[in-house]
Structure 1
Amino acid sequence: MTTRRTLFTILSLAAVAPLAACNARGPVATLAQDDEAAWYTGMMPDKPYDVPLVDTNRLEPKYRRQVVSYKGPERPGTLVVDIDNRQLALVQEDGTALQYGVGVGKLGFSWKGQATVGRKGVWPDWSPTTTMVSLNPDLPRTQKGGVDNPLGARALYLHQNGRDILFRIHGTNEPWSIGEQLSSGCIRMLNEDIVDLYERVPVGATVLVKRNGKYRV
């Protein structure tokens, strides 16, 4: 059953959400509650929680979901994350890509390489890594999925050689961080965008995370 919280309640929860390995706040995200509420325009039905919808006019046009021409060598169905440009592209069959704006890892936390989508989660729970707990012992050891969870509405869990590498492509309750370099390495998206991407990407899909145009060292 869909939870019928008001948007005000949702934003109040988001404002006090614990900070996570995949969703660390920075100076750009220090907003008053009224400023946070101004980012939202309504709700999208989902289960077990409705998804708060963002006013995408607040984002730079290049960070809004759109179809773009794509001339790269990657096969259709490949996810290509451009760390420098803060964009994620899902390569299509017809020489185009579906492009989304993303937030990326802050200096010293971002990475590049090739991975696969090892599993997918709907309103996933979040647990901090050992490193995050060592840096901040007050972090909760686990947080149930929900509108105040740093992983947002969906998560794609990245694997290499069959092992979880602890990096995710996931939603966020901090939409103002899209286009920024603030996370602890994960790739964050608007919740409505990760819901859209989740439905398009199967387990096993290839993910290339590029920096300086390259995903190989």
Structure 2
Amino acid sequence: MRMKTLALVAGLALATAVSGCSTFGSYKVFSSDYGSRTDAGYRLPSIPIYKVPKQYHRQIVAYDGGEKPGTIIVDTTDKFLYFVLPEGQAVRYGIGVGREGFEWKGTARVAAKREWPVWTPPAEMIRRQPELAKYRGGMKPGITNALGARALYLYNKRGDTGYRLHGTPEWASIGKAMSSGCIRLMNQDIIDLYDRAEVGAKVIVR
């Protein structure tokens, strides 16, 4: 019986490793870190985190992906973002990703970081959603802003990708495919990631 159990555990570990991102259990889950707070003069509301599946709560996990610390890995299939730490660990965040037709994969870098950014919808988004034309000159920062409390701007060799890692007031979208390609995190999580990630950090979207 013991041999069968060990074989099952080994098989599960191998299957996870083959998927590209190896994670084995959690060291710490930050479920209590989603309360309200004041940030740069804005009152960030609390998130009813009990309504968010626990796998999407911020947590430190064992990680064996081979990337150097400081790298950001976006797993669009399982809806996780990993910030790689030293010694085989990573901070894992739940994310929302692009809906059907807006998915993307590739490698980029963090070219800039902004606190309480202005959101300017691209022209193609305004064509799809004419009601956004009123924000053509930019949506002012605030609790209802589409980029939330923080944004990390992604560039590649061709320049601005147009994609961001950003906060969202729509916490219920975490774990789902609803965006126009950007990667959404709960506001409390994007603040945490913003404080960890450096300009120039490599971002791999899978």
Structure 1-normalised TM-score?
A: 0.76
- What is the rounded CA distance, in whole Å, between the counterparts of 1:50 and 1:95 in structure 2? 36
Pairwise CA RMSD of aligned residues?
1.2
Gaps of 5+ in 1: 1-40, 211-217
Tell me what 1:36 maps to.
Answer: none
Alignment of 1:13-28 (within 5 A): none
Question: Following TM superposition, where does structure 1 have runs of at least 4 consecutive aligned residues deviating by more than 3 angstroms?
Answer: none
Shift of 1:42: 4.7
Larger proportion of strand: 2
Q: Does 1:78 align with 2:71?
A: yes
Deviations 1:144-169 (A, max 9, x none): 11001010000000001262111000
Which secondary structure state, in structure 2, belongs to the residue aligned with residue 189 of structure 1? strand
On the 8 A contact 1:147/1:153 being kept in 2, the answer is yes
One-letter amino acid of the structure 2 residue matched with residue 64 of structure 1: H
Shift of 1:130: 1.4
One-letter amino acid of the structure 2 residue matched with residue 173 of structure 1: P
On the 8 A contact 1:118/1:162 being kept in 2, the answer is no
Q: 1:109 aligns with which of 99, 102, 105?
A: 102
Provide the aligned length of Structure 1 versus Structure 2: 170
Once the two structures are aligned, what percentage of the paired residues are identical?
46
Gaps of 5+ in 2: 1-33
Shift of 1:190: 0.4
Tell me what 1:48 maps to.
Answer: 41
- What is the rounded CA distance, in whole Å, between the counterparts of 2:158 and 2:44 in structure 1? 31
Which secondary structure state, in structure 2, belongs to the residue aligned with residue 118 of structure 1? strand
Deviations 1:114-157 (A, max 9, x none): 00001001100001111111112221212011001010000000
Which secondary structure state, in structure 1, belongs to the residue aligned with residue 39 of structure 2? coil
Tell me what 1:161 maps to.
Answer: 157
Change (3 A) 1:42 1:93: closer
Q: 1:119 aligns with which of 97, 112, 116?
A: 112
On the 8 A contact 1:52/1:191 being kept in 2, the answer is no
Q: Does 1:173 align with 2:169?
A: yes
Q: Does 1:200 align with 2:193?
A: no
Greater RCO, 1 or 2 (C-alpha within 8 Å, sep 6+): 1
On the 8 A contact 1:83/1:209 being kept in 2, the answer is yes
- What is the rounded CA distance, in whole Å, between the counterparts of 1:53 and 1:120 in structure 2? 23
